[in-house]
Structures are given as structure tokens and as C-alpha cells.
A = this chain, B = another copy of it.
Amino acid sequence: MTGHHRRGSGATGHLGLCTDLYELRMVASYLRQGMTAPATFSLFIRPNAARPWYVALGVERVLELLPAFTFGPEELDELQRLGIDREVREALATWQVDTGELWAVPDGTVVLAQEPLLEMTAPLPIAQLLETAVMNLVQYPTLVATKAARCALVADGRMLADFGFRRAHGVETGVEAALAAYLGGGFATSNVEAGRRYGIPTTGTMAHSYIQAFTDEREAFRCFATDHPDYSVLLVDTYDTLRGVARAIEVCQELGIEPKGVRLDSGDMGALAVDARRLLDDAGYVAATIFASGGMDEEEIQRLVTEGAPIDGFGVGTALTVSQDHPGLDIVYKLVEYDDRPVAKFSGVKSTFPGRKQVVRRNGRPTDDVLSLRDATEEGAPLLRPVWRDGQRLVPVDEVEAVRERVRAGLDALPDTWRRPPYVDPAPLPTLGRALEELTEQVRHRVVDDE
């Protein structure tokens, strides 16, 4: 081993090894056993008290990467090193994810626990091998979009910006977080690359280091407001927040410009915002906004909004990007059918329901959802639709604004008791459709008899 020099996972152009080893051992065994009949895996989130609902996101990314799940020479060498035998390696050398069907809810759909975000039907080895990557690709965007939606709901119309790039789990992850946060309900991001790549509005003016690089706070404000008159949101808490506000006002009066606003980054935000507002208003700067950041999370935002703090916008960093109160979803990808035989697992919270599914939304409300079999006839709007078949995508790429609108509509359809904390406990689950209930009972009997 010669050091740990890094290359990106796309370095070889083949993502076949972006998986857990057990998937490959299983695939090898399936191939040797001739077990290549169609299997359906269902990706859903297990009930968890931390989240009553989720903003599904990531299917677009899955569609984009499916063709890259191949094995090049370096990947095949690694398989040999791992003891995967020649016959299996030869099969994987020409492997393409080009047979099967993917059903999915549209990105931005508000879903409940137990509801499939996607279902993959493909020859067992293919559907199995994709498990790790598909979960990874859907988990993080869904996690952040959901967190952003929660923050946006408690911010109640106030500006919400993603400030989390520096604490995201990876550089690329920070860019994806900015997109997911925007899709989930954010207004802007500090992340410049995300702005370039996805056209997300970017925001940001100055850090404490800027103020400190000058010997004097007034001089710092003066230079910044002169250099960036259109972006004059001045950070006022480097030394003393209210003195900072007063100085910002003095400098703007001196320069004859109207400040865009001030940013508070520490202290008792509620009280400071009231005083800052008064100072700005007294100076005639009624249009200047007050922006709050620094360790913000849902609870603090809700508290400030509820107590009527005159804050116009919030910058949320770590809490948003890592979904701090719930940094990993209980997302799973479970076999529900193999070779026309529905399968399930019956073990308390880890139970699964058998068969290919559909989610039927009644009355446009997630809390009225029915979890049914794919071909059942419950009335309402089906959420899952085929998005990919035999190597061809069947749906156009969603526009960013279309996804945002879908999120808004989904959140609007939530009952008030689920829109903001404290949420009613426990998390709502979809009603089970009659045919699914019957099939579940049949499979339960079969499994119990087998035992």
C-alpha cells in the first residue's frame, strides 16, 4: 500500500464497486445458482418518532447513475483479489443495468414512513447489487430536503438560507445539500458552486475575520459598504452587537447609502433583534432587514418566530446540512417479491410487507394515504409511476421549480398538527389496502408454516 492518495469515485468511470461486499458475494452466489428471475426491492423509511413525514428526493440522481454501474479492468482485478471466481467475473465484465423496471414517486413528493419512494424490479443479481448505492443516493437528499422543509415551516415565510457548506460531510455533499435544501423549501444558499451548477440564489456578505482584519469596526463597515453597496448586510456582533448596529447606521448615514440590513450571529437573538430594529427604524432604515445566524435550528427558529422577534431571515448551517437532530434516516431496501413469490419479514419494527406496491393518495392528503398492492384498485391518486424500463428513462428531468412546487403542495396538504412541532405522536402511517392486508396474512401463514 503506497500512502492514501485519493481519487474520486468516478475516477475509473465505473461504479460497480460502489457497493457493500455482501452484495457482491450474494450476486456471485445468485449467478452460480442460476437465480436470475425478476426480484422486486422496495425502498422505504421505517417509522421513526423523529420525522412524521419526509420529502422524497434522489430518484433523479438514481436514474442518472444507473448506466455507470459497470465493472472495468480495475474493478475486475479487485473482484479477483476478493476471491470472486472467474465465471462470475466474466459475467460482471459485460454487466449492464439494462433490464428491469423502476417505479418511483416524483422528487419532492411528501411521503410517510412505510411508503415506497421507489421499487426496482430486475433480475435478482442486478436489483441486489444496486441496494447500497440506491439507498445512499436517495437517503441524503431526502434527509436534507425534509430538514429544510421543517425549517421553512417554522420560519413561516421568513427567508431561510443554507449556510452549511463548511460542515457538510464532503465538498460535493455540500453542493448537493444546497440543492436539496433549496428544493425542500429554502430560499438561498451561501454555496457558490451550487449557485453556478443549479442556479440557486446565493447569499452572503462578510465574516468576523473581515471586521477583525481592520483595526476598527467602523472602517470595516465603511470599506465594505463602499465596495459592495448592493450587498451591505453588515455583521454587527464582532465586538458588541448594539454598538455594532449603531456604527453600521453611522457609516451608512456618512456614506449616504441605505443599508440592506444587519446580521446577528450570537447572543440573545430575540432581544437583540428588537433593539436593532428600533435603532434601524429610528434612523429611517425601515427597509433594512435583520438576519439571524449562528447555531440556528428548528427549535430556536420556532421560538423566535413565536415570540415575534423582528427577524426577517435565518441562516441555518450545520443543523440543516447534517440534519443534526436526525442525521441518518431509517431507510431500507427490502426484497418484497422474487420469481413471482411475494416475501416479507415479520419481526416487530423491522417487519416488511410483501409484494409490489402502490401508494394511493386520497383527498390529496398524505395522512389519508393507502399503501396498496401495485395492481390494487383503491381510489385516489397513485404516487408511484414507472420512471425507467430496460435501460430507458420514461420521464423527463424535473425542473427545479417544479420540484419546489410539488414540495409546497405536499406540505400545504398536511394537517396543521403535522406542519410544525410539537407534532402529534406517533408518526402517521398509511392505511393498508385490503388486498395488501390479505396478501400479508397469506405470507405470514406460509412463513410460520415453513418454520
Contacts and interface: CB of A to CB of B under 8 A. Distances in A.
Interface stretch (A15-23, A110-118, A359-367): A15-23
Contacts of A227: 28-29, 32-33
Contacts of A321: 328
A382 interface: no
Interface in A28-61: 28-30, 32-33, 35, 39, 41, 60-61
A345 interface: yes
Contact of A204 (B22, B169, B195): B22
Indicate the member of A29, A191, A451 with the most B CB atoms within 10 Å. Answer: A29
Nearest to A77: B196
A369 interface: no
A213 B329 contact: no
A132 interface: yes
A227 B25 CA distance: 9
Nearest to A24: B192
Contact of A33 (B207, B223, B322): B223
Contact of A209 (B212, B334, B341, B398): B334
Interface string A174-202: 11110100010000001111011111001
State the number of copies, please: 2
A124 B213 CA distance: 9
Interface residues of A, number: 127
Given A228-B29, A322-B328, A328-B167, A9 B193 contact: yes
Contacts of A61: 6
Interface in A303-354: 318-319, 321-324, 327-329, 331, 333-335, 338, 341, 343, 345, 347, 350
Contacts of A440: none
Nearest to A318: B328
Interface in A221-264: 223-224, 227-228, 230-231, 237-240, 243
Which 3 residue pairs are nearest across A and B when measured between Cβ atoms? A22-B204, A21-B204, A3-B397
21 contacts: A6-B61, A6-B176, A8-B172, A19-B165, A20-B163, A21-B203, A22-B190, A22-B205, A26-B209, A28-B228, A29-B206, A29-B228, A82-B192, A128-B210, A136-B171, A140-B168, A170-B173, A170-B176, A208-B334, A213-B335, A266-B350
